[in-house]
Amino acid sequence: MDFPSGLLFGALTGLLLLSPSRADAARPYINDKKVPENRHDLEVIQKHVTDSLPAARKATVCIDLGDGSGSGVVVSADGLILTAAHVTGGVGKEFTVIFEDGRKAKAESMGLISTTDAAMARITEPGTWPYVEIDREDSAHLGDWVYSLGHSGGFDKERGVNVRLGRLVQVKDSTVQSDCSLIGGDSGGPLFDLNGKLIGIHSRVGQRTQENMHVPVREFLKNWDAMQKSEFVGEGPFAKKPEKGKGFLGIGTLPRAEGGLSIDKVGRESPAEKAGLKSGDIVLKMDGVELKTKEQFQDLLKEKAPDDRVALELLRDGKTETLTLRLGER
């Protein structure tokens, strides 16, 4: 995804935290060699990648935002996606995801951690989706062989997902660095260990191509519940916190003696028009609160931010109905 250079070139500081040393039968021996020493070593790396790559490719998606694109990876059969906060840009945003075979699905962003660039999203269409396993044991070590996937430059069915092999060259508490070169469009894509377990999400690049930063899976696991609840966490540089009072609906109303407010104007291309509100509709309630005056309605809207959902109970043609819509931005 194309982002301002200032965002891509951000850097984090912190103490070097190596993963604790422990026995792990599934850990490829090649990770503990400084360099491959012979053909067999290279063939071991190749076999690990080729064995796990098909499933990893199937679960890696392009996130199409309309005016740009990033990447993400599905981590559950019901369509939970991990990606970067600077890709989704906020909570409750709708977009399309594209699988490597060209299949498309609608999705919506959930919570994010703006300080470390972690974000969650979910496919909103029913279905069973290809997914990858997360390294919940946080077993990646400094120097491990890894590979990255991403829709570099956007979706391209003929090319497919890009694959880059490398090693972990730095491991910190809230970020890891690899020498898998990343470019625009890779943001939010997955980083795997040689067993095909997800260990990180691509975040940003440094001033040199070798400086490729990823959000470690542990950062997602630490904030899992908050992201599942669609919370915006932190005040960091990777996503702009929604501001209350900036939410835009796009209707004009008149007071009504019988209660509620009569809509006398609907703005063109406004969220209200797109949701189907019409002049003559009566707004009886907003989010369950009975409306009595325009001032009360305006006060309720001032508590809302762009992309917040509001439920409006309407009286239309003598019948009541509830319409839920997402606010725009002033």
Confidence of residue 141 (pLDDT cuts 50, 70, 90): very high
Distances in whole angstroms, Cα of residue 140 to Cα of each of 172, 176, 295: 11, 10, 56
Q: What is the C-alpha to C-alpha distance for residues 327 and 8, in angstroms, rounded to an integer? A: 29
Confidence of residue 201 (pLDDT cuts 50, 70, 90): very high
For residue 209, what pLDDT is reported? 73
Q: pLDDT tens digits for 119-131?
A: 999 999 999 999 9
The mean pLDDT of the chain is 89
Amino acid 25 reads A
Residue-wise over 301-328: b if at least 16 C-beta within 10 A, else e? beebbbbbebebbbbeeeeeeebebbbb
For residue 210, what pLDDT is reported? 75
Q: List 323's β-bridge partners, or say none.
A: 312
Quick check: 110 and 230 in contact, CB under 8 A? yes
Beta-carbon contacts of 188 under 8 Å, excluding residues fewer than 6 positions away, are 1, 63, 70, 71, 72, 83, 84, 87, 88, 119, 150, 201, 202
Q: List 62's β-bridge partners, or say none.
A: 71, 98
Q: pLDDT tens digits for 80-121?
A: 999 999 999 899 889 999 999 999 999 999 999 999 999 999
Confidence of residue 34 (pLDDT cuts 50, 70, 90): very high
**pLDDT(207) > 90:** no
Distances in whole angstroms, Cα of residue 23 to Cα of each of 26, 134, 171: 9, 19, 19
**pLDDT(22) > 50:** no
**Rounded average pLDDT over 276-285:** 94
